[in-house]
Amino acid sequence: MSSLQNALEHYQARIGTKIGISSWVTVDQQMIDAFADTTRDNQWIHTDPKRAASETPFGGTIAHGFLTLSLASGFAQECFQPMPGQVMGINYGLNKLRFLSPVKVGSRLRGQFTLQGISVRSDTELLRETLLTIQIEGAERPALVAEWLGISVFRD
């Protein structure tokens, strides 16, 4: 049996189950500022702590939604171990994405992954659909939820 077939069977048995939960990551002002510099999104709600404290309901700065989303790759690497014969994973995009709660500076985030589907894309690729939830420590509502698509590439 091929590596791809073994992986397919492994994932098919786990559809609907939680694949993993990452460790917590603290979103501090330095991380927010670095993201703002990189993306050239310097809106004051992210980069001006004094103004954000006095002019927003958040009590301080908040992380960019796309900063929160960008942490997903690291969370996934922690939760998804390569399958035997897998040579790489490729981000294929998102079907749905919703930013549900602002991430206040100093918050701790983690990713939770639930496998929603798996299919054969080609004789060397599997397409994995995962429900991604980025949780905020101590908060009822997550920062975001997304249906994330990833391709696993195999070579026997």
| The three-state (H, E, C) secondary structure of 135-154, written as one string | EECCCCCCCEEEEEEEEEEE
98 part of a folded domain: yes
75 part of a folded domain: yes
35 part of a folded domain: no
Number of domains in the chain: 1
Question: What's the pLDDT tens digit per position in 34-72?
Answer: 999 999 999 999 999 999 999 999 999 999 999 999 999
**Nearest 5 degrees, angle CA 108-CA 51-CA 59?**
40
The span from the CA of 114 to the CA of 90, in Å, is: 18
pTM summary value: 0.93
42 part of a folded domain: no
The span from the CA of 64 to the CA of 97, in Å, is: 14
| pLDDT tens, the chain, 156 aa long | 799 999 999 999 999 999 999 999 999 999 999 999 999 999 999 999 999 999 999 999 999 999 999 999 999 999 998 899 999 999 999 999 999 999 999 999 999 999 999 999 999 999 999 999 999 999 999 999 999 999 999 997
